[in-house]
């Protein structure tokens, strides 16, 4: 239902943009300047490609996460620690109102954890061996509650769909810019000249950088929401303690694959302009937010 509602919203946005372009007479302005471009068809084309890549990534997210991190899925617990993990995730999932996720452990000395999956009732929650080895049980439970919060909030789905919208408009405006420059500046009358491809690539890079700031803003926002969910499920004091422990270990290298960085719990800590491109707020800001609900 969440996917259908979000898709309906995005389709409505695309239709609205098309209507606005027609009301503003943008199609006529382009035609008057010798730019033969069908904006409606281009918008549909970009939406298909923009969403296709995002949805494929979402559907393959669990498989790629397992392969990329070497995560071992706990099916039959081999020891007390694994039994505790399963029991804890089951308890937190029931309290959050979601289906029992797959539970795994991945080999990494860095203290980290992640959640992924296309469906809140078919997710994967995994923790690193380093986190299990050095964190207290109450802190591990808080980390798991944070990840369960991501799943319950539908963050993986929503972030993917937002990325699809961003991809659509980056492709759309980059091609308008490339097409216009090719027709008006380079005077190409039929087909596309070399200028179109160069300008389109440059425009996609620039627009992609700007658009990533929007995606990263949402990513930072969802971390605060997951922290709040973790505090509700595991206790505010335990969630703060877990974040403080992560802060102590911040100097250790983070070896999560790049595509999973946004779904790990310990990323972030950038300052200045770089903070606009960070998937996580600083741990200090997250601790402060929990201390001042």
Kindly list the catalytic residues.
147
Among left, alpha and beta (phi > 0; psi -120 to 50; other), residue 173 is alpha
Residue 231 and residue 22: Cα distance in Å, rounded? 48
Phi, psi dihedrals of residue 125, rounded to the nearest 5°: -120, 125
Distance CA(110)–CA(52), nearest Å, equals 33
Q: How far apart are CA 222 and CA 281, in angstroms?
A: 10
Per-residue DSSP letters for 216-282? HHHHHHHHHHHHHHHHHHH-HHHHHHHHHHHHHTTTS---S-GGGGGGBSS-----GGGGGG-SS--
- Run of H or E including 192: none
Q: Which residues lie across from 116 on neighbouring strands?
A: 124
Residue whose tokens read 């420059």: 181
Contact 204, 171 (CB under 8 A): yes
Burial of 253 (0-12, 13-18, 19+ CB in 10 A): exposed
Stretch (H or E) spanning 150: helix 137-152
């Amino acid at each position: 239902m969440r996917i259908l509602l979000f898709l309906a919203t995005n389709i409505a946005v695309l239709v609205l943009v098309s209507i606005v372009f027609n009301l503003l007479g943008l199609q006529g302005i382009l035609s008057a300047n010798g730019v033969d471009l069908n904006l409606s068809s281009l918008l549909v084309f970009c939406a298909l490609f923009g969403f296709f890549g995002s949805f494929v990534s979402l559907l393959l997210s669990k498989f790629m996460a397992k392969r990329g991190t070497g995560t071992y899925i706990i099916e039959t617990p081999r020891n007390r620690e694994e039994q505790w993990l399963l029991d804890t995730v089951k308890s937190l999932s029931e309290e959050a109102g979601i289906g029992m996720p797959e539970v795994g452990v991945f080999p990494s000395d860095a203290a980290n954890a992640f959640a992924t999956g296309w469906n809140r009732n078919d997710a994967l929650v995994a923790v690193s061996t380093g986190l299990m080895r050095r964190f207290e049980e109450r802190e591990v439970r808080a980390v798991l509650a944070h990840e369960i919060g991501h799943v319950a909030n539908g963050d993986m789905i929503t972030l993917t769909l937002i990325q699809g919208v961003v991809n659509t408009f980056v492709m759309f405006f980059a091609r308008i810019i490339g097409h216009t420059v090719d027709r008006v500046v380079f005077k190409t009358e039929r087909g596309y000249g070399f200028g179109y491809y160069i300008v389109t690539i440059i425009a996609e890079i620039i627009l992609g950088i700007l658009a990533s700031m929007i995606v990263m803003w949402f990513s930072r926002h969802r971390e605060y929401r997951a922290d709040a969910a973790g505090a509700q499920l595991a206790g505010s004091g335990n969630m703060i303690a877990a974040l403080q422990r992560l802060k102590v270990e911040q100097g250790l290298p983070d070896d999560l694959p790049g595509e999973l960085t946004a779904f790990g719990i310990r990323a972030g800590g950038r300052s200045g302009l770089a903070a606009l491109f960070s998937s996580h707020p600083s741990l200090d800001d997250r601790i402060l937010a929990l201390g001042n609900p």
